Chain A
Amino acid sequence: MARIIVVTSGKGGVGKTTTSAAISSGLALRGHKTAVIDFDIGLRNLDIVMNCERRVVYDFVNVINGDANLRQALIKDKRVENLYILPASQTRDKDALTVEGVEKVLTDLAADGFEYIICDSPAGIEHGAFMALYFADTAIVVANPEVSSVRDSDRILGILQSKSRRAENGERVEECLLLTRYNPERVAKGEMLAVADVEEILATKLLGVIPESETVLKASNQGVPVIHDATSTAGQAYTDAVARLLGDDVEHRFINMEHKGLFKRLFRRSA
């Protein structure tokens, strides 16, 4: 049985696509056959973050409409074995996604031996976001440490537990929170919410805290998911999050401000 994981948030620009690329790459790096689907029809960018935009021939909507089969549309990642990308259509509109069509794609992927299917959700709470979350077993809710983003995540959690197929069957979607673009210095100044505040408001399990890092933008411009950059704090934090998703017990890092002690300063100077 494939585990279907939606990466969702309500709000746009919080790091869903960055997270989808990192988590799917991380799962594949750990040896799991993984597919990542871009549900952001009309605004596709997962293919850019994963550097395969020039290899897109057929897309998700083509498969749903029967213009192409899954094998033709799936793009094999060049960096990691076991990782496949199903890109969004740039030209269609969101209504091209139907419950039956999405279900068929997911079932076919599972039948093909995929262990993890990551669904990169568009922003908002409308049709596209709903399609991305409807079949989820697990939801990674991405939030930034600010009030409006946390509120939108709360809203999405409510929709997940009431409108998804699991909810319709009286089951719960496993939910976890990924706090991204976290900046301990700004938290200390009171400009951002602290991890504990967000955890308290959302009352849900914390999958990880991804620090704000310049390496993320650089990574997406180069089309290399940041999880491949072992020197980046964001990359390390994503590796930890993948481990937790797989059930490992890993302590949270990058939550507190670094203390630039003497040793570190000396070290810097000589480096």
Chain B
Amino acid sequence: MDSKSQNAELPFASTAQFRLKAGLFPLTQLDISHYERDAFTEQLAQKAAEAPAFFQHTPVVLNFDTFEGTLTPPLGEICGLCREHGLMPAALRSGDDAILTQATDLALAIMPAGKTKVSEVASTAPPAPDPAPAKEEAPSPEPLPSAGPTKVVNTPIRSGQQVYAAGGDLIVLSSVSAGAEVLADGNIHVYGALRGRALAGVRGDTSARIFCQSLEAELVSIAGNFKLDEDMRAEHWKAPRQIHLDEQTLVIQPLS
């Protein structure tokens, strides 16, 4: 602490307390079309089980623009359920006054309704939100792309373990077990078998790729676009593959 400033006559003087900066964050939108408590809870739980990495304090925008229910949905209850399942409602968009009033009471930010760039991107994205990088290291607020340090792991990544390469690529020289999870802001290379989950471009880098010697993954995802093992078993199973994103569609190709 600067002792001079503490002794200064004007205690509120000079030292800047903050700086306003424009930030660009990939934000996930939850389009809510219907609300019935039990069904909603069940679907949240199901999605969270399918892709737990997506549900780790991930900020979301609740979107009611396409809401089809006739009754005004109980916003407080919806927010509570989201939080229980690892989603953090940060803002809301809706044209409905009753919903907007609730949002104000709940201190949610209000996003402009209607067509914006954000809505176009998010609404064509798959239902699961962009994954939040795991607890390990807090990602820096700077958005894409990633040219940071590469993280190299020599040992197998076992069931229950999670490895995240913040700001760069992840290289695994051994295999990734079923029940393990690897995440990177950049590309992921696995020189053994990929049996767990692999999420590349977790902060939105759509040019990130996944490479592996044997594709046996539970889930692969690039910038929030994912495929589950059932989508890969027929054609690509246990073969060397690379995965990239083409217009929000994951493309799997032989590695050769």
Binding site for B on A (CB under 8 A): 151, 154-155, 157-159, 161-162, 172, 201, 203-204
If A158-B158, A158-B161 touch, whether A151 touches B179 (CB-CB below 8 Å) is: yes
The 7 A-B residue pairs with the shortest CB-CB distance, nearest first, are A158-B158, A155-B159, A154-B159, A158-B161, A155-B160, A154-B177, A154-B158
> Cα distance A161–B155 when bound, in Å?
9
Known: A151-B179, A154-B179, A155-B179. A203 touches B159 (CB 8 A): no
Contact indicator per residue, chain B 146-159, by CB within 8 Å of chain A (1) or not (0): 00000000011111
- Within 8 Å CB of A203, what residues of B? 156, 174-175, 192
Q: Is the interface on chain B under 10, 10 to 19, 20 to 34, or 35 or more residues?
A: 10 to 19
Q: In whole angstroms, how far apart are the Cα atoms of A203 and B157 in the complex?
A: 11
A203-B160 Cα distance, complex, nearest whole Å: 16
Q: How many contacts A-B (CB < 8 Å)?
A: 34
CA distance A97 to B192 in the complex (A): 39
- Residues of A contacting B156 with CB < 8 Å? 157, 203-204
- The chain B residue with its CB closest to the CB of A161 is B155
Given contacts A157-B158, A159-B158, A172-B155, 4 further A-B contacts (CB under 8 A): A151-B178, A154-B159, A154-B177, A158-B157
Contact of B159 among A151, A161, A172 (CB under 8 A): A151
| Chain B, interface SS category | loop
- B175-210 CB mask vs A (1 if < 8 Å, else 0) is 101111000000000001001000000000000000
A22 to B195, CA, bound (A): 34
Question: Chain A residue with minimal CB distance to B216?
Answer: A201
- State A35–B174 Cα separation when bound (angstroms): 35
Could you tell me which residues of chain B, from 23 to 72, have a CB within 8 Å of some CB in chain A? none
Report the minimum CB–CB distance from A154 to chain B (whole Å).
4
User: In the complex, what distance in Å separates the CA atom of A172 from the CA atom of B159?
Assistant: 17
